[in-house]
Structure 1
Amino acid sequence: TKLDAILIATPWEWHKEMIITSLDSGIRYVGTEVMIGITLEDHWEVVRAAERTKGHVMMLENVCYRRDVMAVLNMVRQGLFGELIHLQGGYQHDLREVKFNNGIDAYGKGCEFGDKGWTEARWRTHHSVYRNGDLYPTHGIGPIAHYININRGNRFVSLNSFASKARGLHKYVVDHCGKDHPNANIDFKLGDVVTTTLQCANGETILLQHDTNLPRPYSLGFRVQGTEGIWMDVNKSIYIEKKAAKAHQWDTAKEWLDKYDHPLWARWSKEAEGSGHGGMDFYVVHSFIESVKRNVATAMDVYDAAAWSAITPLSEQSIANGNSTIAFPDFSGGQWMYRKPVFALTDEY
C-alpha cells in the first residue's frame, strides 16, 4: 500500500533519518514533531532530501496556532503595531519533573533518567548533560517568524547566544534524592537560562530565551513591538498608541485579542475543543492533513523547519566560541527574496 503521508513523533535524534527515509521511499508529505536534526549538517541533509524528492516537510509547531498568537498575527497583518522592530519569545517551562522520574511514573517522584528513567526522561535529559545551547527554540521562533515573514521576504542573518551557569538540575537531584544519589555527581552542561539574539535582513531584532531547569510558571514570553504599539503575553497586555484607553497605560490584551480573533479560530474552535494544548494541536494537524488532501504545499515548509530548528546547533556553536556572532545559513538558497507569505491567510487551514 502506498502511503500519502507520515507523522513522526519520536525523540529528536531520530527525526532526520526518519524524515529522509520517508522522502526517499516516495512519501510526499512528512509531518514531524519539532526539531529536524541535531547538527547543522543534519538540517542541510533534510533540506537537500526535500529538494531532491520534491517532497513536503512540515514541522508541526503547534504554538503558531495558539489563539492569542494568531490574533496578534491578525493585528500585525492589519497594521495595528505599525512596522515591527523587535520581537521576543522562548521556551520558559519548568521541566525538572519531566527530566527526572522514578522509572515508573512519567513525571517526577524520583531522580532517574536515561536507561533508568521513563518516557521523556529516557532520552530528553541526556541533552541537558552534554549540550549547552537553546535546545528548544521553535515554540518561540515559529510565531515570530510568521509575524516578520521569515523565508518570505525576510530571513535570519546572524545569531549570538549566552548561557548562564548550570545549577537547577543538580539542586533538584540533591533536594529530592540527596547528595549521595549517583546523579548528584553529574556535571550538567546546559545553562539554566540561555539567551539568544538574532538579527534579521529587514532590520528587526529577536530575543529568545530557553529556561527549563528552574522553578517558574509556564510562559513563552512573547513580545511584539512596532512603531505604533506592543503586545506582551506575560502581563497579558497590549498598548496601541492613540488607540489605548489611556496614554502610557496598558490595555488588557483580551479586549484586543477577542476583537481580532483569527478567522481560523472563529471558524474551527468547536472542532478544536478538547484537542491537545488548548486546541493548538487540532489546527496544526488539520493544516497538515488538508495540504495532503488538496495536494498542495504545506503552510510551513522545509525551509521554515530548517531555519527554526537550526537555532539550536548555531546557539551551541556561538556559546562554545565565546558568545561569538554566527552567520545564519540561508537554507532557501536565495528564494526567500521572492517567496510570498502563505501561512493562515484564510479561515480554511
Structure 2
Amino acid sequence: MSNNRRDFLKLSGITGMGLLGAGLSGFTPEQLNQVHAQSQRKHVQRFNMSGFAAPKMNVVRVGVIGLGMRGPGAVNRLSKIEGVEIKALCDLRPEMVDKVMKSLEGTSHKPETYSGSAYAWKKMVDRDDLDLIYIATPWEWHTPMAVYAMEAGKHAVSEVPIAITLEECWQLVETSERTKKHCMQLENCCYDFFELMTLSMARDGYFGEIIHGEGAYIHDLLDLNFKKGDGYQEMWRLQENYRDGNIYPTHGLGPICQIMDINRGDQMDYLTSLSSNDFHMRAHAEKLAEEDNFYATYATKKYRGNMNTTVVKTKKGKSIMIQHDVSSPRPYSRIHLISGTKGMAQKWPTEGISSGHGWLKEEDMTALREKYTPEIVRKVGEMAKQIGGHGGMDFMMDWRLIDCLRNGLPLDQDVYDAALWSAITPLSEWSVANRSNSIDVPDFTGGSWSNNSPVDITLAGGGTTGVRV
C-alpha cells in the first residue's frame, strides 16, 4: 500500500467509522456552518478531468461492491456486455453474494467473492487485477469506497448520490485529479430515451439558447421507505429522510445540466431552497408503531418536509428548478422541462415539444424522434429495453461506460458532475435551515468550466462494443 493511501486512511477515519453516518441524522448547527464554509472554498485545479480519456483497455475487469437493491441488476447487465470480465463480487451478507453467483451460472464470469465483514470490500479493491470498481452500497459508503478505489489505481463508478457532504465532494475531485482515475456517478436518467433526444435537439440548436430547466424526483415511496429488508440494510434509506433538503436531486438534475452545459460553458452560481412541513412521514411511522414495536424508534424522529423546491441561478443568468417529494400521493415525475428562446420540451405528465403557443401534433413528434434519436439509442436501444433496468436506460448507461473505457474516450459524466450534482443536497439543507437564504455553489472545476467542451453524445471513436443477448 502506498504512503498516499496510508495517509488517506489515517486522515479520513475510514478504518473506523469517522467518515460514515454523517447523513443519517440531519446536520447539526456546527455541520451546517461547515457547509457554508465549504461552499466558499476556492479550488486550484491540479489536472482537468473534464474531457480526460484513460488509455484504451480491450477487457474491462470489474469488481462490484453491494449486492442489495441495485447491485444484482448491475451484475446482470455487465455480464451481457462484450469486453467485460466480472472478476470479484462483494457484499456484507454472504447470502446475497451466493444469490448473485448463482445468477452467473452458465456465463463466462467466474468472480471471486468477498463478504462477512463491513470492510471485506477493501481486500477486494486491493487486488491488482481490477480496472473498475462498481459501487452499489448504501449512500454513506459511496465516497469512502470511490476514494479508496482511485487511491488503489482503479476507476470508480458509484450509484447516486456519490457524496452526501461537501467535504466528500471535494475529496472526490481532489483524488480524481491527483490519481487521474475516472470517478463517475451512475446517473442513469441521463440515458433515458426522451432525455437523450432532447439533448440531441439542444445540441442542434432546436430550442435556441436555453433559458430555464426543471427536474425533479417526485415518487410516492411512503410505504417503501418504511419497508423492512428489501435490500435497504438497517433501514438506511428511511434514515436519509431525516435530512431536510433535496436529498435526491440527481435524477432530475443530471439531464438538465447536460443540456444547459453546466460545468462545460456555464456554471451554477448560487441557490435557495425551501421545504414544506412533514405531513406524512412521522404520522406514518406512528401508525406503524401501533402495530409493530420495531417502528417505535422511527416514530420519534423528525423527518424532512414533503416537498422541497430548490432554485439555482447560473453564472450566465439562467435558472434551474429542482424538486423532491417521496411521501405525497402523486404520480411519478422527473418533470424534465427545457425552455429556450425558440422552443421547449417537457416529459411529464406526457412527452411534449412546443415551438410556440401549443404542443406539436403526434405526426410532428414522430418526425422529430426520427431526426433526433441519437446514435446510442439506434445502436443498443432495443437491446437495452430487452435486457432492462428502468426501461433500458440502466443498460445504455453501463454499455456506454464500458464502450468509452474500451475505446479510450472521455466519459459522459466526470468527477465535477458527480460532485456538483451531489452538492445540491447539503447546500439545500443549509438554505432550508436558514429561512431559504441563498448560498454560493462551489466551482469544483476551478474555473475550467468556461472552456470545457459540452458532452458529446455521438459514438465518434466508439460504438464498437457488442452485446451478449
**What TM-score do you get using the length of structure 1 for normalisation?**
0.88
Using the alignment, how far apart are the partners of 2:131 and 2:353 within structure 1? 46
Indicate how the Cα distance of structure 1 residues 277 and 175 shifts in structure 2: closer, same or farther if over 3 A, else same.
Answer: same
Q: Percent identity?
A: 37
Aligned 8 A contact 1:98 1:121 in 2: no
2:315 aligned to which of 201, 213, 218: 201
Indicate how the Cα distance of structure 1 residues 102 and 25 shifts in structure 2: closer, same or farther if over 3 A, else same.
Answer: closer
2:263 aligned to which of 136, 151, 160: 151
Aligned 8 A contact 1:5 1:292 in 2: no
1:337 aligned to which of 436, 450, 466: 450
What are the residue-to-residue correspondences of 1:59-98 with 2, within 5 Å?
59-98=185-224
Indicate how the Cα distance of structure 1 residues 228 and 256 shifts in structure 2: closer, same or farther if over 3 A, else same.
Answer: farther
Pair 1:9 & 2:120 matched: no
Indicate the SS of the match to 2:399: helix
What are the residue-to-residue correspondences of 1:312-323 with 2, within 5 Å?
312-323=425-436
Pair 1:43 & 2:169 matched: yes
> 320-329 or 337-346: which moved more?
337-346
The one-letter amino acid paired with 2:406 is: K
Using the alignment, how far apart are the partners of 1:249 and 1:265 within structure 2? 24
Indicate the SS of the match to 1:123: helix
Give CA-to-partner distance per residue, 1:30-73, whole Å, 9 cap, x none. 11111122211110011111111111111110000000111111
Q: Partner of 1:142 in structure 2?
A: 254
Indicate the SS of the match to 1:208: strand
Structure 1 segments of 4 or more deviating over 6 A? none
Indicate the SS of the match to 1:282: helix
Q: Partner of 2:421 in structure 1?
A: 308
Using the alignment, how far apart are the partners of 2:299 and 2:253 within structure 1? 34
> 224-233 or 156-165: which moved more?
224-233
The one-letter amino acid paired with 1:146 is: Q
> 169-178 or 321-330: which moved more?
169-178
2:369 aligned to which of 258, 263, 270: 258
> 45-54 or 256-265: which moved more?
256-265
What are the residue-to-residue correspondences of 1:233-312 with 2, within 5 Å?
233-241=347-355, 248-249=358-359, 251-252=361-362, 254-255=365-366, 258-259=369-370, 260-272=372-384, 273-312=386-425
2:276 aligned to which of 145, 164, 177: 164
Pairwise CA distance, 1:7: 0.4
Give CA-to-partner distance per residue, 1:90-133, whole Å, 9 cap, x none. 11111112211244xx3xxxxxxxxxxx626621111112x111
The one-letter amino acid paired with 1:154 is: D
Tell me the matched-pair count: 330
The one-letter amino acid paired with 1:33 is: E
Indicate how the Cα distance of structure 1 residues 226 and 178 shifts in structure 2: closer, same or farther if over 3 A, else same.
Answer: same
Indicate how the Cα distance of structure 1 residues 141 and 249 shifts in structure 2: closer, same or farther if over 3 A, else same.
Answer: closer
The one-letter amino acid paired with 1:208 is: I
Using the alignment, how far apart are the partners of 1:249 and 1:12 within structure 2? 40
Indicate the SS of the match to 2:410: coil
Aligned 8 A contact 1:146 1:343 in 2: no
Using the alignment, how far apart are the partners of 2:360 and 2:297 within structure 1? 46
Pairwise CA distance, 1:236: 1.9
Q: Partner of 2:147 in structure 1?
A: 20
Indicate how the Cα distance of structure 1 residues 55 and 180 shifts in structure 2: closer, same or farther if over 3 A, else same.
Answer: closer
Aligned 8 A contact 2:275 2:432 in 1: yes
Q: Partner of 1:328 in structure 2?
A: 441
Aligned 8 A contact 1:81 1:227 in 2: yes
Q: Partner of 1:187 in structure 2?
A: 301
Q: Partner of 1:113 in structure 2?
A: none
Pair 1:33 & 2:143 matched: no
Give CA-to-partner distance per residue, 1:272-304, whole Å, 9 cap, x none. 122201111111111221222223432211011
Q: Partner of 2:11 in structure 1?
A: none
Using the alignment, how far apart are the partners of 2:236 and 2:221 within structure 1? 13
Q: Partner of 1:132 in structure 2?
A: 244
Indicate the SS of the match to 2:435: coil
Indicate the SS of the match to 2:241: helix
**Structure 2 stretches lacking a partner, 5+ long:** 1-127, 464-469
Aligned 8 A contact 2:374 2:458 in 1: no
Pairwise CA distance, 1:257: 5.4
The one-letter amino acid paired with 1:34 is: V
> 160-169 or 339-348: which moved more?
339-348
What are the residue-to-residue correspondences of 1:92-107 with 2, within 5 Å?
92-103=218-229, 106=230
The one-letter amino acid paired with 2:129 is: K
In our comparison, the structure showing a higher alpha carbon Rg is 2
Indicate the SS of the match to 1:225: strand
What are the residue-to-residue correspondences of 1:213-228 with 2, within 5 Å?
213-228=327-342
